[in-house]
């Protein structure tokens, strides 16, 4: 079993692999530590390629003694080359890691699959979460498939599509009057009182490991090669840092050659504590109150913000923010050039990619991968009013008038 212990990210104090998330000594966050000394690179690569068509093909790099019982089929989402997007932006090579193809149409299926498997291993019968929407969908669906009771806590102003796509699975939906940070504080308090597995609180160290599988898949889909640059949205910062950790693990083991890609983070201007810290050269120290259409990224006090800052700086990358209008334009840009309809978080990512291209930060020969983490059907209001459907009478003559009045290139 490569997973050895939980370890504090600050003071390195070790702990057993049980349900805990904070260091007793320094109150730093805990993460899973591994020992890959017993793995042979060639044999591990063969085992991966012969493994199941899901994230469990990477079981050697996840916190379990053996491969867990499979639930919903998660992972192996498309890595789609996007030549028209690259051409539109005037850059070399762009690929889209399209995690809308997961069971509940976001990357959260990955982290929930790992968290629920660990929760069952630890004996929990009830799972819960604090969520800005996508996690609520995933927890409700995976709990239903596993026969577990679930509670999801969400901000009361969450997009209707995400609320409906949670309650349908039979979850107990608790709408809290407040921001995500208020919801998260409530769940942290409740996790100390109830014998529940809060996937992003008391089993967070295991939950976070699921994000590494995006890096493993990107590398495998590129024939065990690294991209030059990765653009990833930042909410808590965990996804951003764990994708990097996935690449680093395979580099350390010898499954990959080269150096860590440049990492660019993407935030919405209405909730951009990490981008603000990067721009000023300071640390993330002051929570912000979210005010953005990108509600899945609206975390004003990001737990992994300091680690995201460090990653951007040491990889030669950056963390940028974009306005709500730029987010809408990013959604449209991605849809028009790739056929992928993304939610607002993906609009943030696409808009930051466009900003990097406009700024001249991308070399002509770079291979860039952008992470699209959720489906546009979850945030339909973001594109409402951005185009017009015109009614015509059922006649060829009226259709010809319609065509004549359309702007050039629209049809």
* pLDDT score at 363: 92
- Other CB atoms closer than 10 Å to residue 66's CB: what's the count? 8
Boundaries of every domain in the chain: 79-105+209-383
User: Would you state the pLDDT for residue 92?
Assistant: 92
Q: What is the mean pLDDT of residues 201-230?
A: 97
The pLDDT assigned to 345 comes to: 97
pLDDT of 411 > 50? The answer is no
* Beta partners for residue 30, in sequence order: 8
Q: What is the tens place of the pLDDT at every residue in 360-381? A: 999 999 999 999 999 999 999 9
Give me the mean pLDDT over the 245-273 stretch. 97
The stretch 202-219 carries a mean pLDDT of: 97
Query: Taking residues 293-313, what's their average pLDDT?
Result: 95
Give the per-residue pLDDT at 408: 58
Question: Is the distance from CB of 106 to CB of 138 less than 8 angstroms?
Answer: yes
Question: Which of 232, 236, 242 lies closest to 301, judged by CA?
Answer: 236
State pLDDT tens for residues 40-71. 999 999 999 999 999 999 999 999 977 787 78
Q: Is 109 exposed, middle or buried (CB count within 10 Å of its CB: 0-12, 13-18, 19+)?
A: buried
Res 71: pLDDT: 86
Long-range contacts of 288-291 (CB under 8 A, 24+ apart): 289/179, 290/179, 290/180
pLDDT higher than threshold 50 for residue 221: yes
Is pLDDT above 60 for 87?
A: yes
Q: Does the pLDDT at position 196 exceed 70?
A: yes
Q: How confident is the model at residue 405 (pLDDT cuts 50, 70, 90)?
A: confident
Full-model pTM? 0.94
Q: What is the pLDDT of residue 174?
A: 97
At the topology level, CATH places domain 79-105+209-383 in Rossmann fold (3.40.50)
pLDDT at 385 over 90: no
Residue burial 315-349, b: 16+ Cβ < 10 Å; e: rest: bebbbbbbebebbbbbbbbbbebbebbbbbbbbbb
Helix intervals (H) in 168-304: 180-191, 204-207, 212-221, 238-253, 273-280
Predicted confidence at residue 68, as pLDDT, reads: 81
pLDDT of amino acid 67? 76
Question: Model confidence over 118-145: pLDDT tens digits?
Answer: 999 999 999 999 998 999 999 999 999 9
Closest CA to 329 of 312, 354, 307, 306: 354
Q: How far apart are CA 94 and CA 187, in angstroms?
A: 39
Q: Is-contact 225 217, C-beta < 8 A? A: no
Average pLDDT over residues 284-310: 93
Instruction: Give the closest residue to 311 by CA, choosing from 379, 361, 237, 372.
Output: 237
The predicted pLDDT at position 272 comes to 96
Per residue in 138-176, pLDDT tens?
A: 999 999 999 999 999 999 999 999 999 999 999 999 999
Neighbour order of strands in the sheet with 318-322: 79-81, 93-98, 367-372, 229-233, 262-268, 318-322
Average pLDDT over residues 93-104: 98
Would you state the torsion angle of the CA atoms of residues 52, 60, 209, 101, taken in this order, to the nearest 10 degrees? -20
């Amino acid at each position: 079993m490569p997973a050895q212990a939980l370890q504090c990210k600050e003071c390195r104090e070790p702990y057993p692999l049980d349900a805990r998330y904070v260091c007793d000594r320094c109150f730093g966050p805990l993460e899973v530590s591994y020992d890959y000394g017993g793995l042979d690179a060639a044999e591990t690569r063969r085992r991966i390629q012969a493994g199941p068509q899901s994230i469990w093909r990477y079981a050697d790099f996840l916190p379990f003694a053996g491969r867990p019982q499979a639930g919903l089929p998660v992972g192996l989402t498309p890595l789609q080359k996007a030549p028209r997007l690259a051409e539109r932006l005037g850059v070399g090579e762009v690929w889209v890691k399209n995690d809308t193809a997961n069971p509940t149409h976001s990357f959260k299926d990955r982290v929930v699959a790992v968290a629920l498997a660990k929760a069952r291993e630890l004996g929990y019968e009830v799972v819960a979460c604090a969520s800005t929407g996508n996690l609520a969908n995933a927890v409700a669906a995976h709990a239903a498939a596993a026969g577990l009771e679930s509670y999801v806590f969400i901000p009361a102003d969450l997009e209707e599509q995400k609320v409906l796509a949670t309650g349908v699975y039979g979850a107990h939906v608790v709408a809290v009057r407040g921001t995500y940070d208020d919801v998260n504080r409530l769940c942290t308090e409740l996790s100390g009182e109830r014998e529940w597995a809060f996937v992003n609180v008391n089993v967070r160290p295991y939950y976070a490991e699921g994000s590494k599988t995006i890096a493993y898949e990107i590398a495998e889909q590129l024939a065990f090669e690294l991209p030059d640059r990765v653009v990833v949205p930042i909410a808590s910062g965990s996804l951003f840092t764990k994708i990097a950790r996935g690449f680093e693990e395979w580099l350390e083991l010898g499954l990959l050659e080269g150096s860590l890609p440049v990492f660019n983070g993407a935030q919405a201007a209405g909730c951009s504590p990490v981008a603000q810290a990067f721009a000023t050269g300071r640390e993330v120290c002051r929570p912000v109150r979210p005010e953005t259409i990108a509600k899945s990224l609206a975390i004003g006090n990001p737990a992994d913000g300091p680690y995201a800052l460090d990653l951007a700086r040491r990889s030669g990358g950056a963390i940028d923010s974009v306005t709500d209008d730029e987010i809408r334009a990013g959604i449209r840009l991605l849809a028009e050039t790739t056929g992928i309809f993304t939610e607002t978080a993906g609009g943030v990512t696409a808009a930051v990619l466009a900003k990097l291209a406009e700024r001249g930060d991308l070399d002509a020969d770079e291979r860039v991968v952008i992470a699209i983490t959720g489906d546009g059907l979850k945030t339909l209001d973001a594109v409402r009013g951005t185009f017009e459907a015109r009614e015509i009478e059922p006649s060829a003559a009226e259709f010809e008038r319609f065509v004549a009045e359309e702007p050039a290139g629209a049809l």
